[in-house]
Amino acid sequence: MFGLLELFCCIEACISLNKDVLVFPYEQGLNRSVEPTLQSLEFLGVDPGLYPREHFERRQLPKHQDGSHRLSLKDYEEALLATLEIKELDAILHQKRSVRLREVAVPLRDYLRSVASVLPRVIDEAFAACDNRATASYGRTYVRRNREELSGLLKLANGSKTLANFQRFGPYQWLKSLYVQRLALKKRLSTRL
């Protein structure tokens, strides 16, 4: 869920820039081909001859990847993605090639506008359904550490009680955070013995 929040944050920040950004499809990219790296070097104006391509291919590219390493999504995560019509966002971002953000900026803005009305509610529902007790503690720490970078997302999801709670971090939340972290550490240590 935090990854999705970061994705929205990154999209919002990138389309607000006065600079161009190169976007490449990860699935066709870093884990399957060196082309996105070469396209990135070209975008940056770097000589691709300086790039140790063979070394990268030997060390980084997997020999075989079937997707079995991925965790299955929980019901509330599936509901979050469905409500946000994330397949529309995928269709914009997952091109067969790298694209400059200016090529997809208008559809991205339209997408963000289309989900803005439901975003606070679905964030609240997903976090309420999450059964990981450390999520709230992590969320407060995450927002506190990244408040400036998250400002666009916080505006976009204005009205989310979860995000509002993540922004409050008083003595009670601090003590509760320490308690939850202590329990998590105790649990990890007991499983190692």
Residues 105 and 124: their CA atoms lie apart, in Å, by 27
* Ranges of each domain in the chain: 2-192
Residues 112 and 5: their CA atoms lie apart, in Å, by 12
List phi, psi (to 5°) of 2. -70, -35
Amino acid 122: pLDDT: 95
Which residue in 34, 36, 29 sits closest to 56, CA to CA?
34
List phi, psi (to 5°) of 22. -95, 130
Residues 176 and 134: their CA atoms lie apart, in Å, by 10
- pLDDT tens track, the chain, 193 positions: 898 998 998 898 888 888 889 887 766 666 667 777 778 888 888 887 777 777 777 776 666 555 566 788 999 999 999 999 999 998 998 877 788 888 999 999 999 999 999 999 999 999 999 988 889 889 988 888 888 888 888 888 889 999 888 887 667 666 776 787 788 888 888 877 6
Residue 59, C-beta contacts closer than 8 angstroms, at least 6 positions apart: none
Residues 131 and 52: their CA atoms lie apart, in Å, by 44
